[in-house]
Amino acid sequence: MEPIIITSSFLFGREVMSQTLTNSTKSILNSVKSILDDEDFYFKKILIEYDLISKVKIINSYISNITLNKELFENETIRLSIKNVNDILETIENEIKTIKIKIEEHRLLWFHKFRTPTYKYFLIELERHIKILDQRFELLIKIKN
């Protein structure tokens, strides 16, 4: 009876982690695409400089492949590393949503083209978190190998 419980919890955990990652990835990509329509040069520069769209797609694919491999996914260190990557992806997702809202709010202001946007702080934080994502993903690759 015990092996069935362990196997089912393993499959459930793997599925939950994979689904969470996929949802974060889709949300990031959708939000980024909608913000790209904005004229904010600095945000576009960040996206191009850090290649965020491609990076998120690759990370999603890489982790999805790991979660399909039972032997790899049973490794506690790899699971912890995947969780950390997923956590920073969720942080990036929330920041991008906030930036999107702030851009829309800024557009509604009178003389918005002459005002300093309040979302610049969030762009700086986004850059910082993208660097953390890079470090965590590199660590996951090293641990897996």
Q: Give the CA distances from residue 38 to residues 27, 49, 90, in Å, rounded to whole numbers and listed in that order.
A: 18, 17, 23
Q: Averaged over 15-31, what is the pLDDT?
A: 66
Could you list the residue range(s) of the whole structural domain that residue 62 is in?
Answer: 2-144
Cα 16 to chain centroid distance, Å, stands at 16
- Residue 125's pLDDT is 92
What pTM, to 2 d.p., does this model score? Answer: 0.72
Provide the domain count of the chain: 1
pLDDT in tens, 26-76: 677 666 666 666 555 677 778 888 888 889 889 988 988 888 887 887 888
pLDDT of residue 39: 55
Which carries the bigger pLDDT value, residue 1 or residue 91? 91
Alpha carbons 89 and 91: distance in angstroms, whole number: 5
Coil, helix or strand for 142?
Answer: helix
> Is the pLDDT reported for residue 9 higher than 60?
no
Please identify which residue in the block is written with the tokens 């660590």.
Answer: 139
| Backbone phi and psi for residue 102, each to the nearest 5 degrees, phi listed first | -65, -35
